[in-house]
Amino acid sequence: MKKLKLILILIVGLSFEIQAQELDVNLQIRPRFEYRNGYKTLIPEGQKGTSQISQRSRLNFNYKQEDLIVKLTLQNTRTWGDVAPTAVADKNGVAVFEAWAQYNFTEKWSARMGRQVLSYDNQRIFGEQDWGQQAQSHDALTVSYHTESQKLDFGGAYNSTAENTFQTPYTVANYKALQYAWYHNQFNEDLGLSFLLLNTGYEYANADAKLLVDYKQTFGPYLTYKTGKIDSSFWVYGQTGKSTDLQVSAWNAAANFGYQITESFKAGLGYEFLSGKDSNDGSSVIKSFNPIFGTNHGFNGYMDYFYVGNHLNNVGLQDAFIKLNYNIEKWQFALMPHVFLAAADVVTPLNEKLDSYLGTEVDVTFGYNFKKDITVTGGYSQMFGSKTMQFIKNGDAGHTNNWAWLMVSVNPRIFSWKK
């Protein structure tokens, strides 16, 4: 470790002129065990659940020199056993999760370019998706104006598969272009209001094989009211524009209220509506809301039945839930039951209209701060699906559909230097 510190100090010292500098290096090792027996979808009849261990390994470099800030994050994600013990190469290799440089022009204005996390408000539309071992980051340019009470961010991205010489189809499962603006005003200690405007363009080939880009807009306010005991939020987002030459008309709204009953115990309840499309609706209009880049694992139940790579362009969702939190010393416990209903009509091919009730999910989680830089978290969830859920998801609603997980996160700072 002493040799590593000496090498890093020499590199920094030889690379820059003598001026105020800071370098911080930290590491994350995060293995997670999961038992999946109806995770993301009802388990089909005759199938059995499965277990695996995944792991994220990250190395973060944070450097600051007066008005310049640079961050580099390298990561490897793997499933234990996905390569043999004698393998000469890793299956996934080492990826660049973040690689950006930020320059502070003034105390209020700054710009950042490179691979970066875009995360705003409660991460319903823009989030890091940190639950996923790979997480989520974007190649983008952002400009920020921040004061004590107001924040304004502009951002944009333009993507290609490679350094092409001629027009080439963009084949990555991603947007071709993106622009957004986010504004936040903190009126006082209790009340805050944000507004997001997001424009995403996806490339497609029309009937004549001509490459086109259709743009979809997602926009709306996010309101928070927080006091010593009350923690509440409300949001409404609309979606319009086009997607592969189809008109988009969708919306999302939610309200959450939490109350700190005692120093250790907090209770809350909430409701969210994500628009959908009747299953017998023959129109070409896309009426199902898409949270796009949201940290969707944190919403609508931890079993990820909805909007985690699934349930898009479907009948939408209504989610009514209660959340109970209890913290004592190094322990944190939470209980969250959800009741799910379709937001649009579910109709069978025989024109039979099914009940809108999809099912009930119960999530139980815990966290334990084992010691500095080491935390242990885990949970158990069970889905009680209905016949309507079975019709939408297939699988067997009568089967026991459950999921359990246990994760250890080790986050030591391995080097810190300042001059």
11-45: per-residue pLDDT in tens? 555 444 557 899 999 999 999 999 999 999 999 98
Residue 1 has pLDDT above 70, yes or no: no
Average pLDDT over residues 231-252: 97
The whole-number pLDDT of residue 16 equals 47
Q: Is 293 left (phi over 0), alpha (psi -120 to 50) or beta?
A: alpha
Separation between Cα atoms, residue 246 and residue 226, nearest integer Å: 40
Separation between Cα atoms, residue 117 and residue 35, nearest integer Å: 29
Average pLDDT over residues 230-244: 97
Average pLDDT over residues 240-254: 97
Between the alpha carbon of residue 236 and those of residues 68, 119, 200, 218, the distances in Å are: 37, 18, 18, 10
Average pLDDT, the chain: 94
Q: What is the pLDDT of residues 293-346, one digit of tens each?
A: 999 999 999 999 999 999 999 999 999 999 999 999 999 999 999 999 999 999
The whole-number pLDDT of residue 20 equals 84
Confidence label for 402 from pLDDT (cuts 50, 70 and 90):
very high
Helix (H) or strand (E) holding 52: strand 50-65
Is the pTM above the cut of 0.95?
A: no
Between the alpha carbon of residue 55 and those of residues 74, 130, 131, 134, 412, the distances in Å are: 14, 13, 11, 9, 16
- In order of their start, the domains of the chain are 2-418 (2.40.160.100)
